[in-house]
Amino acid sequence: MSLQKPSIPKGTRDFSPLEMVRRNYIFDTIRKVFQLFGYQPIETPAMENLSTLLGKYGEEGDKLLFKILNSGNFLDFGGQKSEVGSQNHEQLDYKTLLPYITEKGLRYDLTVPFARFVVQHQNEITFPFKRYQIQPVWRADRPQKGRYREFFQCDVDVIGSDSLLNEVELIQIVDKVFTSLGLKYIVKLNNRKILSGIAEVIGEPGGLIDLTISLDKMEKTHMDFVITELREKGFADASIDALAPFLNFAAEKDLSVIFPFLKVNLHDSSTGLTGIDEIERITGYLQDLQLSGSIELDISLARGLNYYTGTIIEVKAADVPMGSICGGGRYDDLTGIFGLKGVSGVGISFGADRIYDVMNELNLFPEMIEATTKVLFVNFGAAEEKYCLHLLTSLHESGIPAEIFPDTAKLKKQLDYANRKKIPYVVLVGEDEMKKGRLMLKDMATGEQGLMTLEQVMEKIAK
C-alpha cells in the first residue's frame, strides 16, 4: 500500500486539547445563559431530507447545501434511466439529475430542522416552545478567514408567540453571553417589514428578494456596487433614484434621527410603518435595560435568508474586524411549509467558531480553564504508585481532576509533563511521606512545596 499524506477537507479543522478546552468554555458559557432564561435543549440529525432543506434559504443558500449521494449504483437513476437517458447531454444539469442521485443533505443551519422538529413533535411540546441547540452545520462555501465549511452554531429560539418581548429577551441573552465572555459587542437591528416598505415606496414591490440580496452585500462592497447590481436585476432608474436617500441614510446611527426619517419616507406603506413601530418598541425596552453593548438600527441590514419576516438581528465584535458573531430574526410561518400554519417564531444563532477567533485574538480566554487536570501524582515506583492509587481515588470522589504519571520516569520528565499540560499542582509521595502519612504538595507556578494531609491538599486545591 502506498504511503498516504494525512489531510482533511478544506474548510474543516482538527482541534487540539487546548482548543477544545477553550471551545467548551464558550459552549458551557452559552449553554448556562440559555438555561438561565428557561430554554430547553434538543438535537436533530446531521442530515435531513433534501425536501426539508431546499427552497428555504433562497437560491444562493440552495447552492451551498452539501448533498449526500444515494448508496448503490446511483447511475441507474432509481429506475428512471430511460427517462433521463433520453435527454440530450447538453440539456442535463445538476437540477435535472438531483432527484435521481440524492435524497438527503447535511443541514445548512439549525432553524429549518427546528421548524421541522416542531411540526413533527407538536403534540409533545409546550407552546410557546423555548429551545436551544448546539450542533455543527455544513455549507459548501469558499473557505476564508472566519468562514468554514463545517462549523458549530448555538441556536436559541422561541416559537408560538408573536410578542416582541421575545426579541428583547434574545438581545438580553446576547448581552449576558458576551458580558460573561468579556467581549464588547454591537447589536444591529432592522425589520423585514421596513425593507418591504422601501421596496413598495420605490416602486418595486415584487423586488424584495433581489433588494435584500443586494443590500446584504453593501457592508462588504459599497453603495455603487449595490446600485449597479440592482440595475442588472432590472430595477428601473426611477426606483434606484428613490432608493438613494435610504442608502445614503444607512450610515446614520442616531435613533432620534433615523425614526423620523423613516416615518416620513415610508408614510405611504402600512407594512413599513408597522416595521418601524416594532423596532421602536424593541429599542425602547432595550434603552431602559441599559445593556453593556451598543444598539444600532441599520436599514441596509437584510440577512439574505428568505424566511425572515420581521425583526432582523446581527451582532458584531466591537474590537475585531470580523463578520457577524451572532444573528437571527423573526419568522412568521416557517412551520407552515411543513403543515403547521400561523405559528410565529424568533431566534438567534451564536457563531462559536468566530467567537473563538475573536477571543483568541484579544487573549480573552482565562488561563485557569486550560488545566483540565488539577493534580499530578509523581510515580516513584511500584510501592509508591500502589499507595497513590488510593489517594487518587479519594480526589476523584471529591470531584478533583487528578492523574498519576503512568511510568517510573525521571522526576524532571514528570514535572515537564505537568508544565506542558499546565497542571497547577504536583504531589510527591516517597518512602518518608508514606511513613508519615503526609503528601508533599508542590505549586508549579511558585515552586513552593510543603507537607500536608490529604484533607489539606484537597482543601487547598478546591480553593
For 6-10, 182-186, 225-229, 309-313, which range has the lowest pLDDT when averaged over its residues?
225-229
Determine phi and psi for 219, rounding to 5 degrees. -65, -35
Spatial contact of 67 and 102, defined as CB atoms under 8 Å apart: yes
Query: Strand pairing partners for 134?
Result: 154
Helix (H, G, I), strand (E, B) or coil at 139: coil
Residue bearing the bigger pLDDT, 320 or 57: 320
Overall average pLDDT of the 306-311 stretch: 86
Count other C-beta atoms under 10 Å from residue 67's C-beta.
Answer: 18
| Residue type for position 248 | N
Q: Write the pLDDT tens digit of every residue in 167-223.
A: 999 999 999 999 999 999 999 999 999 999 999 999 988 888 888 888 877 766 678
Interatomic CA distance for residues 144 and 84, integer angstroms: 38
Per-residue pLDDT of 28-44, as tens digits, reads 999 999 999 999 999 99
Q: Report the pLDDT value the prediction gives residue 82, as an integer from 0 to 100.
A: 45
Instruction: With 0.95 as the threshold, say if the pTM is over it.
Output: no
Position 250 confidence tier, pLDDT thresholds 50, 70, 90: confident
* Banded pLDDT at 3 (limits 50, 70, 90): confident
Interatomic CA distance for residues 190 and 212, integer angstroms: 12
| 360-411 confidence digits (pLDDT tens) | 999 999 987 877 899 999 999 999 999 999 999 999 999 999 999 999 999 9
Where would I find the H helices in 160-269?
A: 165-181, 192-201, 208-215, 223-232, 237-248, 255-265
C-alpha gyration radius of the chain: 28
In the structure grid, which three cell numbers stand for residue 152, read together?
458549530
> How many whole angstroms separate alpha carbon 344 and alpha carbon 160?
5
Domains delineated in the chain? 22-45+110-361 (3.30.930.10), 371-462 (3.40.50.800)
* Res. 158 pLDDT band, cuts 50 70 90: very high
Q: Which three cell numbers stand for residue 410?
A: 525521571
Higher pLDDT residue, 329 or 100?
329
- How many CA atoms does the CB half-sphere of 82 hold within 13 Å? 1
Condensed to tens digits (0 to 9), the pLDDT of residues 57-89 reads 877 788 899 998 887 765 555 555 545 555 554
Question: What's the rounded Cα separation, in Å, for the pair 281 and 262?
Answer: 15
Q: How high is the mean pLDDT of the chain?
A: 89
Which of 45-54, 99-108, 180-189 is predicted least confidently? Answer: 99-108
DSSP-based helix, strand, coil % in the chain, nearest 5: 45, 20, 35
Query: Three-state SS for 424?
Result: coil
* Residues in CB range of 332: below 8 A, 6 or more apart: 309, 310, 344
For 367, which DSSP code?
A: G
230: left (phi over 0), alpha (psi -120 to 50) or beta: alpha
Q: Can you name the residues that pair with 68 across neighbouring β-strands?
A: 104
**Rounded-to-integer distance, Cα 158 and Cα 141, Å:** 29
How much is the pLDDT for 75?
A: 59
